[in-house]
Amino acid sequence: MTDLTLPQTTDSENIQEQKVLENIPTALVWVGIDQKILWCNRQFRDWCDTDHLINNRFYIPLGRPELRGPDFCPFDTIRRTHKPTFTVLCQKNPGRFLNMSVMPVLDGDDNIVNFVVELRDVTNQYQEEVFKIKLREAGKELADITQNDIAKLSSMERINILRAKITRYTKEILKYDTVEIRILSQRESGLLEPLLALGMADAAVKRKLYAKQEGNGITGWVAYHGKSYLMEDPSEDIFYIEGIPGAQSSITAPLLYHGKVIGTFNVESRQRNAFNESDLRRLEVYAADVAYAIHTLELISFEEKDIAFKSIETLYCDIYAPLNLTLGECTMLQQALLESAVVSPHATAEELQAAIYNLREKIEEGIRTIQDNTRNIQNVFQKHVATITPELPREESEIDCNSYEILRNKRILMIDADESLGPHLSRLLFYYGCTVEAVADGSNALKMLETTQYDAFICNVKIPDMSAYAFYEMVCNVLKLKFVPFIYMTGYGHDGGHVMTRAKTAGVKGYIFKPFKLPQLLSNLKLVITTAEEQNATQN
């Protein structure tokens, strides 16, 4: 075999440099202008399939590899440009990928006399990139179905299509055989229902798991936190619950759609340390595509529509009776008015007075019935809000409803001439279980107070028909409570009658400023209702 070492030298520094070049993990090759090998180090020899290297053409010992680009003729390119060039070589056997850099060696006249070739093994990086491409293509295929086809398919047919695709790509690309995918139920808050189970134990599939930090395994932890989890040793993991007998490692990723957790993707193995951080990142990429497919195939929205339909049916049944009674009362009032209109013109004063009194009684009774039925309907809506747990608007979602449990089933009376404020306040407090009734002035508010019990009052400091402070005093006289849950409302700087100052002196604790923020409103309501319940309880 021809000597493959550099020319010998007695210079100790050069000898040391030769040893370094000979043994570095990067392949180095000295190539002549005719592309024949003049020298190479040990790494290059290890990658070649022959011992005959010196004076052999460069590509032949490498098994005539495939050039993947970007430069498909690196030696010819460097002759023309005198600049280093770059390409990727693929050795078909054993499937190795090499980054190849070629640099010119120039003489004193800038003529190329040799080449220096550097080769680096990038098989892992290249395969990872190819894997990612395949994974992205598989992700697109998961939801590759037209909207027309989606509309024609039932929910179960869509689920079966998705299951088949996930199973195929999970086995072919990810090479996983033990998989469980769960999605958050729309029927029961926090419940994680199985969508797909491959190789999992029946007991594990039937196990009820919730999106909770403790007591629901790694799956529940991932769904609760929205973060991935790598389990390396079941004997030391406090969250792990067995999915397959003898499992030694697992990876679990959340299914996220627009940052919101809609489920989990879990993979288990009987091999210890079967997964690493790279595997977890791959699973996260695939899980994102699965989440997108679930959304695109309308699997969750179908459930939501089904639940909404059932809720509508229930609401209809619950409100039909009071609405029907209200319509009947209106008919009776119309009939009473018609009867009063046919009183004889020759009737005596006593007969007219009796007719008027009888009509008044019927009208008052009808109004009370209509009021009761309307409030029954309001209560029905509040009851269903508590059961179906709607998604709160952005402003409300920032406030923890559980912190304001005391507001549930409370009735609020608002007094303000601004007609738009009542619906706005009612919408805000609806999600906290409050019913809001609104009137424009103090006189109507006092009439409402005659027939209805309210848990709190919100009053503008300026109402049309009387002093706001005088109204407060009248409410106190009617209720005769130690503490009246009263809140004054005003724009900044608009308290010309010093209502707020006088009210504070009289013991009013609540006040808000327009335009009020939800936290301000909630904290004031909680304050006055809590104070009223505490102080008035001792009164009784």
Do both 404 and 536 map to the same domain?
yes
| Residue 6 belongs to some domain of the structure | no
One-letter identity of residue 513: F
Cis link prior to 393 (omega < 30° from 0)?
A: no
- Is 116 inside a domain boundary? yes
Claim to verify: residue 284 and residue 363 sit in the same structural domain: no
Q: Could you tell me the two tokens for 61?
A: 């010992």
Last-in-domain residue among 297, 326, 349 = 297
Specify whether 284 is located in the same domain as 136: yes
Among candidate residues 461, 516, 510, the one with its CA nearest the CA of residue 490:
461
Tokens matching residue 125: 């990086």
Are 262 and 288 found together in one domain?
yes
pTM: 0.44
| Within-domain flag for 58 | yes
What CATH number does the domain containing 109 carry? 3.30.450.20
Residue found by looking up tokens 């998961």 in the block: 142
**8 A C-beta contact, residue 332 and residue 412:** no
Domain contains 199: yes
Whether 273 and 361 map to the same domain: the answer is no
3-class secondary-structure state, position 51: coil
Are 286 and 315 in the same domain? no
Per-residue pLDDT of the chain (540 residues; tens, 9 = 90+): 334 444 454 555 566 777 878 888 899 999 999 999 999 999 999 999 888 899 999 999 999 999 988 999 999 999 999 999 999 999 888 889 999 999 999 988 889 999 999 999 998 888 777 777 777 787 777 767 666 666 677 767 777 888 888 888 888 888 888 999 999 987 788 899 998 888 888 889 899 999 999 899 999 999 999 999 999 988 888 999 988 889 999 999 999 988 899 999 999 999 989 999 988 988 998 898 888 888 877 665 444 444 444 555 555 556 655 665 665 666 666 666 666 666 667 778 887 788 777 778 778 777 777 777 777 776 776 666 555 444 444 444 444 556 788 888 899 999 998 888 887 888 788 778 788 888 889 998 998 888 789 999 999 988 999 988 899 999 999 999 999 999 998 876 555 567 777 888 888 888 888 877 888 899 999 999 999 999 988 775
* One domain, residues 379 and 290: no
- What CATH number is associated with residue 452? 3.40.50.2300
The number of angstroms, rounded, from the C-alpha of 27 to the middle of its chain's C-alpha atoms is 49
**CATH number of the domain residue 232 falls in:** 3.30.450.40
Separation between Cα atoms, residue 407 and residue 411, nearest integer Å: 9
CA dist., res. 468 & res. 488, Å (int): 9
Question: 276 with 365, same domain?
Answer: no
DSSP letter (8 states) at residue 11: -
308 shares a domain with 293? no
In a domain, 7, yes or no: no
Q: Is residue 5 part of a domain?
A: no
pLDDT score, position 305: 45
Structural domain that includes position 410: 392-540
> For 226-272, what is each residue's pLDDT tens digit?
999 999 988 888 999 988 889 999 999 999 988 899 999 999 999 98
Q: In what order do the strands lie in the sheet with 27-32?
A: 37-40, 27-32, 112-121, 96-106, 85-91, 66-70
Spatial CB neighbours of 76, under 8 Å, sequence gap ≥ 6: none
Q: Does residue 205 share a domain with residue 85?
A: no
Rg (CA), the chain: 40
Residue that has been written with the tokens 């059961």 in this structure: 387
Per the domain annotation, does 3 fall within a domain?
no
Do both 399 and 336 map to the same domain? Answer: no
Among residues 299, 219, 217, the alpha carbon closest in space to that of 264 is found at 219
User: Looking at 351, 370, 391, which one is the last position of a domain?
Assistant: 391
The number of folded domains in the chain is 4
CA distance 85 to 102: 5
Q: Which of 391, 421, 442 is the last residue of a domain?
A: 391
292, part of any domain:
yes
Torsions phi, psi for 34 (to 5 deg): -90, 15
Measured CA to CA, the distance from residue 270 to residue 283 in angstroms comes to: 18
Which pLDDT score, from 0 to 100, does residue 309 have? 45
Beta-bridged to residue 184, according to DSSP, are 192
Do residue 538 and residue 416 come from a single domain? Answer: yes
Beta pairing partners, 99: 88, 120
497 three-class SS: coil
